[in-house]
A and B are shown apart, each in its own frame.
Chain A
Amino acid sequence: MGYLDGFKVTLKQMFEEPVTNKYPDEKRPKPERFHGRHVLNRYEDGMEKCIGCELCAGVCPARCIYVRGADNPPEAPVSPGERYGFVYEINYLRCIHCDLCVEACPTEAITESKLFEYSFTDRQDAIYTKAELVVDDKGHPRHLPWEDWRPGDEQHTSAWVRATAPNGSAAYEGRVGWSAELGFGVRPPEKGQTVAAESGQQTAEEHAAVPEKENKKR
């Protein structure tokens, strides 16, 4: 019945649940370390984390970041250190979301949210200024008219920083090595890194086992 087996397959598929996601109505959860639109974070007392060091601008391969640092005014300091970023612009027509700026930042001032649905219609809108990038007084990213934020999205603004150990070493499991954020306090690390590492090893073993079996068959 080889010719007719295909008909059985297609008929069976009819009773399976469709895999389609009704995209604009409902969204698929984004990956844990998704690279989206940036935010500039603040400390819990409202001070900005950015110190205007321009390391992000230096490391940026797309040259989309423009930073100017300035001395903090003594009577009303913007950041805890000597200097602060008084101009901070990211051109999203150039940004490739590589996250190197986040890795370069010494104070975890710049991190990425998971927002990628921002369709501006003006070149000026493409250049995000500091006023648009800095989080608001609750520590949530600012919502611009052309951005599609959904409830709960503002929670995901610093996923990369909250990796327990970039090399996956279990020794650093659960150790917090980052500063507190306005509105969120000290965020917990990503969960289950040890488990993930172990299961990864298991799959590696399984991988190794498969060719052996095949060899035996031969």
Chain B
Amino acid sequence: MGDPLYAEGIDLTVFLIVAGKTLVVFAFLLVSVLFMVWFERKVISDMQTRIGPDRAGPWGILQTLADGIKLFFKEDLLPERADRRVFRLAPYLSIVPAFLAFAIVPFGGTISIAGRETHLQLADPPVGVLFLLAVSSIAVYGIMLAGWSSGSKYPLLGSVRASAQMVSYEAAMSLAIASVVLAAGSLSTREIVIAQEGWRWNLWVLGVVPFVIFMIAATAETNRPPFDLVEAEQELVGGFHTEYSSITFALFFLAEFMNVVTMSAIAVTLFLGGPNGPEIGFLPDLWPVVWFLGKLLIFLFVYVWFRATLPRFRYDQLMDLGWKRLIPLALYWLLLIAALRIGRDRGWEWYYVLGVGAAAGVLAWGALNAALRQAATVEAAA
């Protein structure tokens, strides 16, 4: 289907509209990071019965800006044993994917500017979800190269952890997203949103399991607590960005929080129906954006809530959770949903499908546990 903007060819107006949208998305992401850092510090203070930042601006809302300005005026250090070019490149490899991933998020309905119809969405490629997975994988390079090029052991260990973690949870996340794609029948994010219209949100249409898996995997992907052992201060100093200072550190910091915002936006798109919501008479163009931002805020809050509540995982626990629990569960659920859809097409009774599916699930669960126990005894004997 695609964006109606490009239907009649591309001229200057179209170009300007696209440039304007790009600018809006770019500015929104930067402002959202400013907001997110402040929001996180404020909410976590509330949860710890503290006040939090309250000096810069009303309710301390300019604190992030002040911190940012301070960072820009710091000296930019280059470690002696660093690989110069890669060391300089890594922060950009980290931040550009964070920006790119947001491009496919639909954050509003269709509006008309200067007589042209356009979606409130930077890009709606037919391979939207694949683009998301590709881009979020590139971010691993930024972290990996940052740690490697620092020429120092703690950043290296941190980046090895980070890439192992991100690659592991990418699998579980992809399987969770695959069930969404299966339900919508399309890889385009806008069509995924359209498929969820009328409160048929993937959150409950698919059973809550893919959503939970996606949330856990997304938390791990963004290296947020409780999966923040990439930056475990007690073990690794600062993790992969130990050697970075000044503006390059600010870029990593920006990328980290931007990933949180982007991942939340993706979660809203995939599971909460994106900008869908009750229609209200006046200002029909505005409300979808409001619904989108409202849902986004809920996710941001949940991320902070995770951080306030959960202690950090140990590295082997993290890997066990990812490989031995989340990936098998996500795979099983994907197969179950696929079986249900095939059953619907072929006219099978749904309770047979569910019954067989449940039996297969119990069987697979038992086999998995037996295999894990076997592996544990072998390991203990060795």
* A interface list, Cβ under 8 A from B: 6-7, 9-11, 13-14, 16-20, 22
Binary per-residue interface labels of chain B (294-314) against chain A in the complex, 1 for a CB within 8 Å, 0 otherwise: 000000000001001110000
Partner of B49, one of A6, A7, A13, A22: A13
A-B contact pairs, 6 of them (CB 8 A): A7-B305, A9-B309, A10-B47, A13-B46, A18-B50, A19-B50
Q: Is A18 within 8 A of B51, CB to CB?
A: yes
A1 CB to closest chain B CB (Å) equals 14
Beta-carbon nearest neighbor of B43 in chain A: A14
**CB-based nearest B residue for A17:** B49
What are the residues of chain B within 8 A of A9 when measuring CB–CB?
A: 309
Known: A6-B310, A14-B43, A14-B46. A22 touches B51 (CB 8 A): yes
Task: State whether the Cβ of B45 lies closer than 8 Å to any Cβ in chain A.
Answer: yes
Interface: B377 (CB within 8 A): no
Question: How distant is the Cα of A28 from the Cα of B43 in the complex, in angstroms?
Answer: 25
Which B residues are in CB contact (< 8 Å) with A11?
47, 305
Interfacial residues, chain B to chain A (CB-CB below 8 A)? 43, 45-51, 305, 308-310
Give Cα distance in the complex from A13 to B308, angstroms. 10
Which chain A residues border B46 with CB–CB below 8 Å?
A: 13-14, 18
Q: Which residues of A lie under 8 Å from residue B45 when comparing CB positions?
A: 18
| Max chain B C-beta neighbours (<10 A), residue from A19, A20, A22 | A20
User: Nearest A residue to B54 by beta-carbon distance?
Assistant: A22
Which 6 A-B residue pairs are closest in the complex by CB-CB distance?
Answer: A20-B51, A6-B309, A10-B308, A14-B46, A10-B47, A10-B309
Chief secondary structure at chain B's binding surface: helix
Which of B47, B51, B310 is in CB contact (< 8 Å) with A13? B47
Question: B50: which A residues are within 8 A, CB to CB?
Answer: 18-20
A10–B306 Cα gap in the complex (Å)? 9
Residues of B within 8 A of A10 (CB): 47, 305, 308-309
Contact (Cβ within 8 A) B47 A18? no
Chain B residue nearest to A6 in the complex (CB): B309
Smallest CB separation, A16 vs chain B (Å)? 5
Q: Provide the residues of chain A in CB contact with B310, threshold 8 Å.
A: 6
Decide: B305 and A13 in contact? CB cutoff 8 A. Answer: no
Query: Which residue, A9, A10, A11, A14, has most C-beta atoms of chain B within 10 A?
Result: A10
| Distance of A20 from chain B, by nearest CB (Å) | 4
Q: How far is the CB of A87 from chain B (nearest CB, A)?
A: 45
What's the Cα separation between A211 and B260 when bound, in Å? 51
Q: Please name all residues of chain B whose beta carbon is closer than 8 Å to the beta carbon of A19 when the two chains form the complex.
A: 49-50
Q: Measured between alpha carbons, how far is A7 from B308 in the docked complex, in Å?
A: 8
Q: A10-B47, A11-B47, A17-B49 are in contact. List 14 more A-B contacts (CB 8 A).
A: A6-B310, A7-B305, A9-B309, A10-B305, A11-B305, A13-B48, A13-B49, A14-B47, A18-B46, A18-B49, A19-B49, A19-B50, A20-B50, A22-B51
A-chain residues with CB within 8 Å of residue B305 when the two chains form the complex: 7, 10-11
Collect the chain A residues with CB atoms within 8 Å of residue B308's CB: 10
Whose C-beta in chain B lies nearest to the C-beta of A19?
A: B49
Selected contact of B309 from candidates A7, A17, A20, CB within 8 Å: A7
Q: How far is the CB of A40 from chain B (nearest CB, A)?
A: 39
Q: Give chain A nearest CB distance to B249 CB in angstroms.
A: 28
Least Cβ–Cβ distance between A24 and chain B, in angstroms: 11
Chain B residue with minimal CB distance to A21?
B51
Q: Point out the residues of chain B lying under 8 angstroms from A17, CB to CB.
A: 49
Contacts of A6 in B (CB 8 A): 309-310
Q: How far is the CA of A18 from the CA of B305 in the complex (A)?
A: 17
Q: Report the separation of the CA atoms of residues A105 and B50 in the bound assembly, to the nearest whole angstrom.
A: 44
| Distance between Cα atoms of A17 and B48 in the complex (Å) | 10
Taking CB atoms, residues of chain B closer than 8 Å to A14 are 43, 46-47
CB of B321, distance to nearest CB on chain A (Å): 13
Contacts of A18 in B (CB 8 A): 45-46, 49-51
Instruction: State in angstroms the CA–CA spacing of A17 and B45 once bound together.
Output: 11
User: Chain A residues near B51 (CB, 8 Å)?
Assistant: 18, 20, 22
- CA of A9 to CA of B47, assembled, Å: 9
Q: How far is the CB of B297 from chain A (nearest CB, A)?
A: 15
How many angstroms from the CA of A13 to the CA of B50 in the assembled complex?
10
Chain B residues lying within 8 Å of A22, measured Cβ to Cβ, are: 51
Of chain A, the residue at the smallest CB distance from B310 is: A6
Alpha-carbon distance between A139 and B47 when the two chains are bound, in angstroms: 47
How far, in Å, is A8 (CB) from chain B's closest CB?
A: 9
What residues on B are CB-neighbors of A7 within 8 Å? 305, 309
Shortest distance from the beta carbon of A154 to any chain B beta carbon, whole Å: 30
Question: B307's closest neighbor in chain A, by CB?
Answer: A10
Contacts of A20 in B (CB 8 A): 49-51
Q: Which residue of B lies closest to A3 (CB)?
A: B310
The distance from the CB of B91 to the nearest CB of chain A, in whole angstroms, is 33
Provide the bound-state CA to CA distance between A11 and B47, in Å: 7
Chain A min CB distance to B175 (Å)? 22
Closest residue of chain A to B308 (Cβ to Cβ) is A10
What residues of B have a CB within 8 angstroms of the CB of A16 in the complex?
Answer: 49
Give the residue name and chain of the B residue nearest to A14 (CB): B46
A22 to chain B, nearest CB (A): 7
The distance in angstroms between the C-alpha atoms of A192 and B51, with both chains bound, is 35
A126 to B255, CA, bound (A): 49
- Docked Cα-Cα span, A22 to B55, in Å, equals 11
Q: Cα distance A20–B49 when bound, in Å?
A: 8
| A20–B48 alpha-carbon span in the complex (Å) | 10
A35 CA to B39 CA, complexed, in Å: 41
Q: Which residues of A contact B47 (CB under 8 A)?
A: 10-11, 13-14
In the bound complex, how far is the Cα of B43 from the Cα of A9, in angstroms? 14
Q: How far is the CA of A17 from the CA of B310 in the complex (A)?
A: 22
